[in-house]
Structure 1
């Protein structure tokens, strides 16, 4: 099969990246990519460790003259968020990512690209296979399940990774070094469903779709709509206008993606049929007006569907309404010390039903641990008020700013020498693995960088070709200067 990215430079980076787009690697399904990376290292004659979590650690010795230089851990994660357009028939487990080139961008035909964090893996692979690059000892660490709870780095055996400097390659803006990130936790609400016999004769399905979605860390401040929150508002509007019975509700795809689609199924009486149709048009107009700039493609789709035998009890229906309305979404606090930085937030990522339990999974983030706890306490109170159970999973620590960083200073000098520009030092609201890695490998010098990419965790994700090339060039020069 003809390579789409053939001819792009650096050849090795884009060749490796395209290969990764052909390997299934949704979070929790990293077996195939781990096998590929293990074989890749063995063919190069490099030491490789494969952990039971499918973390891969590959070690490349220092080139001559760098034997006494500080060793460098290059780190990225192999998993990706798998999200597609609602209308696209695509299976991430069996089909390669349909990549295309548009100008300076690598994009897809309606799916996530996996540049988060496949480009990190591709860059590290290119450094590992290079026969001309001068560098210190390299330890390439590829972790798993970063997107769903950082399970890979949690399971990492510290004995397998020892180094003096860690360069995380999971950033998304060229020219900006990240030196701090938020911590987070998955906050889960479980609501028991009770049923009753249906009384109303007409059944409908209402879909809220067309939303932009986005990364729940990077795009949480963009004022984009959340389809789960909108379906909660719709429940309240219906309740104020006519009797209805709810019997199915769900929305979102991934905990760390802003929900871009939601569905509710319900019944009404014959006499309210036309009122329902008019009301749906009115609700759509309201939502479009509210999100005219941030989410202009919102649409509500109403159609008749099969009439059920049973529906949720009124108690369950009202509890769902309150749960969705009261659960906070979006920015909670902004940083007082770093202008423009989100300090704390919550994202309603997924609403789904398992048997007789409705589960709402939230992604809570904060760079201040006490604020993260506060958000969790708010959610606990919401759950208590509606009769739901509240639990926490995959809690990960924040990465605090380090005042002294020789690597950061070296990178600033190198970037200015190469491009005549000042390198920006920043923090990010999204979670990185650096907090856990600090616990695993020690309080070593850490920094995070990466090329320009946009709309990650959405079907519109794209990666800059020129920025990727410069990022690779910059990283290679930094390694060369670490002699």
Structure 2
């Protein structure tokens, strides 16, 4: 497409555009993984691709750096695939339609995948360069980060030599990340019973227009979840109307705050106006509650073809109970670091299947016991509603090391280049750093990245100027790691 080639930056943007050309949603990274392997082979670099499609590439140090300590660099190559409701795009087969808007790179109607495609672009540009000083490199391209860190979990570190580790999955320039929380996915499977529909009018009720965002790093912003609002609406509707529930669906990713949700209901024809009134009142109430955070909440209803079956009243009530009572948002704040979330939970996916309703919850926490307490709460609630609850993708946090040599060097170079202190921060989100710290004893880790905004949503954008500044800074750091 050559949309970004004029931006320069030592081929960083060229490789980012190439990455955008290759579909690489979670579980579908093989094509991009194979491209990276071909890239390494063409340059005669050591390369290892595992069964998961993780890739490791090694490159020796440049002149004068041959015996320097090895630096491990790492980022993930899967992306969150989300699109606006009116956007036609096949994430399995079609390239992203990227474009430049001022200082930002965006994708038309879809997520961009700068999280974390820009990390892969940085590494490929560095591996391709012949005129950038650097120590011996071990570059790791992991898969399945966005859906439970399966790639990093299964990555075998047997041939890694480095003890210095740079992760590039941070989304704010000037932040040096030194700690992250752990997490667990709690999956609720509610068996459903159906019965034949009585005569009535079938309506599809939509909630849309929400901002969404990352369920870890954006959870403190207290944005609305469409799944939570849907549960509240259905509860209020039940108070006023005798309705049957056909289905309820919302969200595509457990690590994204749900932006859109839908319920299909059946009501008596004479109650349609009452449903419209409840929708109008609920929309006004939600807009008032979130007026400082969500400006475009919209609720609509449209008549649908008649449904052959509906959920039983008991199943309907269990669905409403789960949506009303499952924990959502910030649960506790860290008492040792101002403004840092300690534990949270996100109701990311609600999906009606043929024989069960699936609700996926992303639980995060920097304190293991409190994270476990939230997971136990979900288990208890599920059992009360006759649901099966399964905990999966449990990953560790990454503890802060105040004596980190990497932190000292990165801070020192930042001050020299920009004339100010960087912010040393922890994040309420999962990074693969915790898994690699567990695999490699004594690992000295740090994470950084350029400015990205609204990741995991179709509004995602990557700052061009920030990407360039981080690249120039990274080259200075590499020269210092002798």
**Map of 1:67 onto structure 2:** 66
Deviation by residue 1:252-281 (Cα, 9 ceiling, x = unmatched): 111110011111111111221211112211
Task: Give the 5 Å matches for 1:81-480.
Answer: 81-480=80-479
What is the alpha-carbon root mean square deviation over aligned residues? 1.0
Deviation by residue 1:146-193 (Cα, 9 ceiling, x = unmatched): 000101011111113331200000000111100000100110111000
Distance (whole Å) between structure 2 residues aligned to residue 334 and residue 28 of structure 1: 33
Deviation by residue 1:228-266 (Cα, 9 ceiling, x = unmatched): 111111111111001001111111111110011111111
How many angstroms does 1:43 deviate by? 1.0
How many angstroms does 1:122 deviate by? 0.3
Distance (whole Å) between structure 2 residues aligned to residue 102 and residue 340 of structure 1: 32
Q: Is the 8 A contact 1:214 1:455 kept in 2?
A: yes
* Secondary structure, aligned partner of 2:342: strand
Task: Give the 5 Å matches for 1:17-56.
Answer: 17-56=16-55
Distance (whole Å) between structure 2 residues aligned to residue 152 and residue 324 of structure 1: 31
**TM-score w.r.t. structure 2 length?**
0.98
Distance (whole Å) between structure 2 residues aligned to residue 451 and residue 481 of structure 1: 20
Distance (whole Å) between structure 2 residues aligned to residue 368 and residue 26 of structure 1: 30
Q: Is the 8 A contact 1:74 1:166 kept in 2?
A: yes
Structure 1: unaligned runs, 5 residues or longer: none
Distance (whole Å) between structure 2 residues aligned to residue 104 and residue 239 of structure 1: 48
Distance (whole Å) between structure 2 residues aligned to residue 27 and residue 397 of structure 1: 20
Q: Is the 8 A contact 2:167 2:445 kept in 1?
A: yes
User: Which stretch shows the higher mean deviation, 453-462 or 104-113?
Assistant: 104-113
How many angstroms does 1:353 deviate by? 2.3
**TM-score w.r.t. structure 1 length?**
0.98
**Structure 1 outlier segments of 4+, above 2 Å:** none
Structure 2: unaligned runs, 5 residues or longer: none
Deviation by residue 1:318-344 (Cα, 9 ceiling, x = unmatched): 000101100010000111111111111
